[in-house]
Structure 1
Amino acid sequence: MASVSAPPKLTEDLLNELRGSIRGQIYTRNDSNFVDYTIMFNGNVVTNGQVVICPLDAEDVSKIILFCRKHSFSPSVKAGGFGTAGWAVGGDVIIDMSRIVDRDIEPPNEQGTYTSIRDMAQPNSKGKGPQTSTVPNPGKRRREDDDALRDYSAASADVAAFLQTPAATHLDAPPTHRRRLNSDNESSRAVPSSSERETQTVADRPSVNPVVTSDSHTTSSSGSGTSSSSRSTPSDSHDDSSRTTPSTDGNSSSAPFNADPFGYIENQTNRGFSGGRTSNFYSTSRTPGSWTSNPIPSGSSVAITTAPNALHSIPSQTRAIHPHAYVTFGAGMRQKEIDTFTASNPLRASSISGGEDRVPYHVPLAAHPTGSAVMLLGGFGFLGRLYGLSIDNLVEVEMVLADGRIVIVNENEHPDLWWALRGAGPSFGVAVRFKAKAYPVPVVFAGNLIYRFHRATAPSLIKHFRDCIKDAPRELYANVILTAGPAGKDDLVVIQMCYVGAKEKGQEYLAALASWDGEKCMLNEVHEKSFLHQQDSVAQVLRGKRGRQWFIRSALITSLPDDIIHQTVTKFDNSPIGCTWLFELAGGAIADFEDSCVPKSQRDTLFTVAALHQWELGVDDIRCITAAEEWIYDTLKPVQIGGPFPSFLGRHEQPARTMACYGSNWDRLKDIKKKYDPTNVFRNTFWPLNAEGDPVEPWTHEPRTPPSAGTSFQTLYGKYPPDSV
């Protein structure tokens, strides 16, 4: 491997040059805040960055990029997400976008369009246009919420209670046990406790309560079956004979119905839906005639029963006026903050009785938790089959290019860059603000069916899931998850569904999915809920923890035959703790869009699959990596096409797999990269080529220490050379 030259040293004179040119805060490695700004969700990622800069607007970002070019520093961009690859902190200069959090929601104007970002107030300007004065020290930025994924009460109190107690309490049978790894010791790099973190100030991150300026425009103020023989039973196995089996009617938990670890929902104490109100949801397709199935005809009124909600109240007989709205938000906004903002600012709606009501709108985003980068790399979530990927709902981006220019990019301005940034954006510039479509989503009929994993019966359940969702309408999102429980707890099979439409229609799909009788369903908590609650459901089932090692691999598959299902179950049964494998129904509206760099071949696939592995720091078990690689590369190879959606690219991806994400569009993408970033300024991204256009080793994206000889990764890549994908 070619050696990496040492970066220039950031001297005090250079720091003073920076301080004199930007409004934002600067933190060097000697600053106590530096770790707060550079720590990643993946505890195995470290940085050799010399400074963190928190710009306040596009002008700040431009000056930072020009500074890096002038003095040969390499920049990287951290935009509030939970990325596990480490690219965000891979540069000498880390641009942390967390202060750019302005947000706005508006319905279409009289022409059916929107207010351009260029005509809106600059971030952190309080609506008064650009400022040149230095912003007072806003205090330490809070860390990413490292406890957020440890609390399992996000989407449903029933799932929370289920996941926070041994799975055996839900059935009379004793639990199965997954084999422990070699070590359970935590590394000394563990994340500090929440008591060691300072609370973020108002100047650092504005309040989620915006100022409503008008009815039409809101802006912010700133079975039976056998267990695997490979698993050993711990010596402290306990007798479950005294335990009772709670009902699965969705009312067995004593936790509040709307319990939420992310702090979105306030003052929610009612469980169930007694006393809920009836509302009507007006649904129209984005492109007339483009929906193959639409159980909510355009212009119709469909009764939906909704639970009380503190963030927005959906009055009786309400009909959304606008088929979509436009949401503008800064690159520092975490996705869950975008959802919270739009949910707490419903737009004006009409009432059959003649009055005025309000309905919440949501941007199609991936499930929590992610950052704004999903708007550039893909973004497939519960609304994706109905409205497309996150990138498909972008309408405009404010971006700083490699030469320091600040540009507005849309279908009419820089159309070649517009094509490229929707799917590969981080490699072309620094996105500062986004404008995207949002759609009315009063409530969803959604939730989980949870079963104990048994090697003998799991294939039958997955086949049942596959057959039930065949030819599913676009309003139905569905996935099936295999997740390995902690030591001493069951492995689970979780079926998730989310129906965006009438409860009665959603109940038909629930009845079909729940009709499998191969095992007893341990928990059925599918019911109507706010979309905000549903967005937390994946994090809830994943039971993720910040500070662990994380490894992600993904693929797109064209079919799910029986033999692939059987091989998947067998391999999963021998995987270590902390493994989650996902089959996610794709298709629908995703296939409608052909004007971005994500090719038609990827959009036409049936499922997106992912292996999400987490394990403790200090544990050195090669299976944590090989189990994911072998499933993706070996088991799924016969039905796999190209690479994954770009948002699922992980650490140490081979160049060939990255290029395969773009299929036949790759050559055009390379040409646009040469035009807008000929010297590869934005190399601290997934981009797999150097400035000369040659493929680079996966280690290029790491800090400056290459792997030592004989490491498990090198062994792994010897097994999976680039030409094997």
Structure 2
Amino acid sequence: MDTGQVAQLRESIHGTVISPQDAGYDAARAVYNGMIDRHPAAVVQVSDAGDVVAAVAFARGQGLDIAVRGGGHSAPGFGTCDGGLVIDFSKRTGIRVDAAAQTARAEAGTTWSGFDHATHTYGLATTGGIIGSTGIAGLTLGGGIGYLARRHGLACDNLLQADVVLADGRLVSASIDENEDLFWALRGGGGNFGVVTSLEYALHPVDTVYGGVVIFPASAGREVGGFFREYIAAAPEEFGAFLGFHQGPPVPFLPEEFHGTPICVVVGAWSGALADGARMWEPVLAAGPVLGQFTGPMPYPAVNGLFDALLPAGLQAYWKADFMGELSDAALGVAVDFGSKVPSVQSANHFYPIDGAVQRVAADATAFGYRDVGFAPVIAGMWEDPADNEANINWVRDYWTALHPYAEAGGYINFMDADDQHRIQENYRGNFDRLAAVKAKYDPDNVFHLNQNIVPAVPAASR
């Protein structure tokens, strides 16, 4: 854009417009994934929904791509673009909790650490992710797997209402009572349908939990994984945990000799009666040779931030994902093989259980269609040095290639990278055609395409 266009944009925005000529441009264009190095025409740090309306209108009028950034955590870097306009919610992090109604409304730039802090004041929480700096909007729109999912469903199952700026500039409400088809699509369909400016959630009584981390050698992964598979299937839904493969982190409860060595972990939280917490973790502590463990009562926000210190913004990142009906012995064998070669202390493979309350929602009740599978595995490659990009990307791809034969056709869109677009129809199963129709209704020109993109359905008369 030239200086005249930038000036025109600034006249319509109450927030901050940052162009390539401004001193803060490099900081404003940066996203969580340090591998992403894109140069937008401008970054609009919005102050309100009116700024979003103006930014969308300006971008459309100038023929610019639109990237929408909430927490900025998208592994493919969908929160930025080359030569387009970034609508950035980083300054919009307000949260209002209604303790009596057990609900909370939060702006789209809110992260889970901020949300959890606000709701924990009242002894309340909802299902979030596992990294506190993750944005609430992106995680929720893609589904939202977290420690409370077995008990309270996905983040999108707890979404009550969203304010959305559409491609035509209208600001609308989406809920079970208003624009129901849009509300259906937002719950798992990603950022395809408009710019979500705020979200309202149902909250649940969750205060102090009994949580933590138990670390085993990766070589015990078959044994520990087999135990975990059976234990999580039988455990009360208040026990939310995942199985993972890492390098030993530099934490005080793990002897230094195991730092940087291949390990297997069980991480999670018991959100039931605190007095039962130690008993629920006892079988985990007996599942294999324990190298180190840190379990006990802790505030729920502490559990949701256990990995934050290891995963600062700016790491290189490349991810792959699937859904799995079951965690078979063969799949565990692959996990032990590749989990013993985890290339960095930040990289990991996790197997998230998505049973319990998740499966009590019908497959067509929301856009998130995989309601009958047991696990959502992610292979998250993250590392510091760009010189290691090729080797570490290959580890992720080779791992996924070996694991995928034991998985479903589709995977969880929040864990997918930019080169997974060819899987989009499989990711939504029988919900895809309906999603394409909703896309055609609310965004027929595919203005919002910087995402795991659902192309608008073509009317039968136009085919």
The code of the aligned residue for 2:392 comes to: C
Structure 1 residue 635 corresponds to structure 2 residue 403: yes
Aligned to 2:104: 327
Shift of 1:488: 7.2
- Could you tell me whether the CA contact under 8 Å between 1:452 and 1:522 is conserved in 2? yes
In 1, Cα distance between the equivalents of 2:259 and 2:278? 34
Shift of 1:15: 1.9
Q: What does the per-residue CA deviation read over 1:142-163, in whole Å, with 9 as the maximum and x for residues that have no partner?
A: xxxxxxxxxxxxxxxxxxxxxx
- For structure 1, the 5+ residue unaligned runs are 1-9, 110-324, 347-359, 694-725
Q: Which is higher, the Rg of structure 1 or of structure 2?
A: 1
Shift of 1:546: 3.1
Matches within 5 A, 1:332-371: 332-344=109-121, 346=122, 360-368=123-131, 369-371=133-135
Residue 514 of structure 1 is aligned with which of 285, 288, 291?
285
Residue 43 of structure 2 is aligned with which of 11, 36, 52?
52
Matches within 5 A, 1:305-324: none
In 2, Cα distance between the equivalents of 1:573 and 1:101? 40
- Could you tell me whether the CA contact under 8 Å between 2:247 and 2:259 is conserved in 1? no
Structure 2 length normalisation: TM-score? Answer: 0.91
Shift of 1:620: 4.5
Task: Say which SS state the counterpart of residue 172 (structure 2) adopts.
Answer: strand
Task: Say which SS state the counterpart of residue 187 (structure 2) adopts.
Answer: helix
The code of the aligned residue for 1:68 comes to: A
Structure 1 length normalisation: TM-score? Answer: 0.59
Q: What does the per-residue CA deviation read over 1:5-30, in whole Å, with 9 as the maximum and x for residues that have no partner?
A: xxxxx122222221222211111011
Q: Aligned residues: percent identity? A: 25
- Could you tell me whether the CA contact under 8 Å between 1:558 and 1:641 is conserved in 2? yes
In 2, Cα distance between the equivalents of 1:11 and 1:362? 46
Shift of 1:387: 0.7
Residue 531 of structure 1 is aligned with which of 278, 300, 307?
300
Structure 1 residue 591 corresponds to structure 2 residue 356: no
- Aligned-residue Cα RMSD (Å) equals 2.1
- Could you tell me whether the CA contact under 8 Å between 2:125 and 2:207 is conserved in 1? no
Aligned to 2:255: none
The code of the aligned residue for 1:670 comes to: A
In 2, Cα distance between the equivalents of 1:382 and 1:631? 25
Structure 1 residue 478 corresponds to structure 2 residue 241: yes
In 1, Cα distance between the equivalents of 2:10 and 2:337? 57
Aligned to 1:414: 179
Residue 20 of structure 1 is aligned with which of 11, 36, 39?
11
Question: Using a 3 Å threshold, how does the CA distance of structure 1 residues 469 and 488 change in structure 2: closer, same or farther?
Answer: closer
Question: Using a 3 Å threshold, how does the CA distance of structure 1 residues 612 and 465 change in structure 2: closer, same or farther?
Answer: same
- Could you tell me whether the CA contact under 8 Å between 2:69 and 2:89 is conserved in 1? yes
Task: Say which SS state the counterpart of residue 89 (structure 1) adopts.
Answer: coil
Shift of 1:545: 4.2
Question: Using a 3 Å threshold, how does the CA distance of structure 1 residues 625 and 506 change in structure 2: closer, same or farther?
Answer: same
In 2, Cα distance between the equivalents of 1:15 and 1:621? 36
In 2, Cα distance between the equivalents of 1:14 and 1:377? 34
Aligned to 1:677: 443
Aligned to 1:461: 224
In 2, Cα distance between the equivalents of 1:27 and 1:654? 30
Structure 1 residue 385 corresponds to structure 2 residue 147: no
Q: What does the per-residue CA deviation read over 1:540-581, in whole Å, with 9 as the maximum and x for residues that have no partner?
A: 5xx234323211111111112222212321233245335311
- Could you tell me whether the CA contact under 8 Å between 1:396 and 1:410 is conserved in 2? yes
Aligned to 1:32: 23
Matches within 5 A, 1:228-377: 325-344=102-121, 346=122, 360-368=123-131, 369-372=133-136, 373-377=138-142
Aligned to 2:254: none
Task: Say which SS state the counterpart of residue 323 (structure 2) adopts.
Answer: strand
Shift of 1:108: 5.0
Residue 616 of structure 1 is aligned with which of 370, 384, 388?
384
- Could you tell me whether the CA contact under 8 Å between 1:555 and 1:609 is conserved in 2? yes
Shift of 1:632: 2.4
In 1, Cα distance between the equivalents of 2:404 and 2:71? 32
Question: Using a 3 Å threshold, how does the CA distance of structure 1 residues 680 and 393 change in structure 2: closer, same or farther?
Answer: same
Matches within 5 A, 1:127-276: none
- Which structure has the highest strand share of the two? 2
In 2, Cα distance between the equivalents of 1:469 and 1:391? 22
Residue 429 of structure 1 is aligned with which of 194, 202, 205?
194
- Could you tell me whether the CA contact under 8 Å between 2:66 and 2:450 is conserved in 1? yes
In 2, Cα distance between the equivalents of 1:618 and 1:445? 38
In 2, Cα distance between the equivalents of 1:477 and 1:522? 22
